[in-house]
Amino acid sequence: MSKLNLTDKANHFSIGGNKMKFIKVNMIIMFIVGVCFSGVWADDTGWKKIGESKGIVGYTRPTSKSSVEEIKGVGIIEAPVAVVEALLRDTPAGTEYMYKCKEASEVNTPELKNTTDTKYFYNVTSMPYPVSDRDVVGKADWSIDKATGTLYLHAEGIKSDYKMDKKKVRMPLLIADYILVPKGPDKTEVTYIALADPGGNLPSFVVNLLTKNLSIQTIAGMREMVKKDKYKNVKSVVTTTLH
């Protein structure tokens, strides 16, 4: 991971004592990993189960893309696929259920132009003082398997000068996927995988330790969000691009 980018003031910040330094590192990591946008690669091997909560199972595995591990969560949401799709397409709603999501918005510029099944987004993750907030510009692509009704959402961070701000650190790596599998008229199996590198020289093993339950928390948050009136009455799937 690259050298941690902080504000000038932050570079002169210090805490005396090894114990206080350890606590400080843990606090920083816990805020960094809460990326605003929350997946499945073609290769589905190597996963290690790390926990389960209310039927949501969490996994992690190492990856050659980063020293930070991928995380995966699998769980049932009591709502039709169309409702879960509506939630995930509502980009600003990320501030309501994603950990430490400070800002979540769609991007639609001449260079980053949205279509029905391709959306660009900008997210900011809030950080504790004096650490700089993290932000990311990304592209999200929707597709559908017509035979099974399964929906796929794949998102990746992209290189962009959009809202570039010296007070924020742009994340060097973000890859996230959702798979929404219908399990009846009012049930959806959600698989969520994410690989997010916030940048910095923080110990990878500590980052991995503190992020391992993030996938479980994300699906748990989605379970609550789909109960909102603006989602629960959605009947039709929007996605038409073939997977």
Strand pairing of 133-145 and 118-125?
A: antiparallel
pLDDT at residue 235 tops 90:
yes
Amino acid at 60: T
pLDDT digits (tens, 9 = 90+) for 119-140: 999 999 887 777 788 899 999 9
Strand pairing of 168-170 and 150-157?
A: unpaired
Q: How far apart are CA 58 and CA 53, in angstroms?
A: 8
pLDDT at residue 37 tops 90:
no
Is the pTM higher than 0.85? The answer reads no
Give the DSSP H or E segment for 31: helix 18-32
- In sequence order, the β-bridge partners of residue 193 are 72, 177
Residue-range domain boundaries for the chain: 8-232
pLDDT digits (tens, 9 = 90+) for 100-115: 889 999 999 999 999 9
If pLDDT is split at 50, 70 and 90, which confidence band does 68 have?
Answer: confident
Q: Is 96 helix (H, G, I), strand (E, B) or coil?
A: helix
pLDDT digits (tens, 9 = 90+) for 1-23: 444 444 444 444 444 556 556 55
pLDDT score of 212: 76
How is domain 8-232 classified at the CATH fold level? Alpha-D-Glucose-1,6-Bisphosphate; Chain A, domain 4 (3.30.530)
Beta strands in the chain (DSSP E): 48-53, 56-63, 66-77, 101-107, 118-125, 133-145, 150-157, 168-170, 173-182, 188-197
Residues in CB range of 44: below 8 A, 6 or more apart: none
Q: How far apart are CA 41 and CA 194, in angstroms?
A: 10
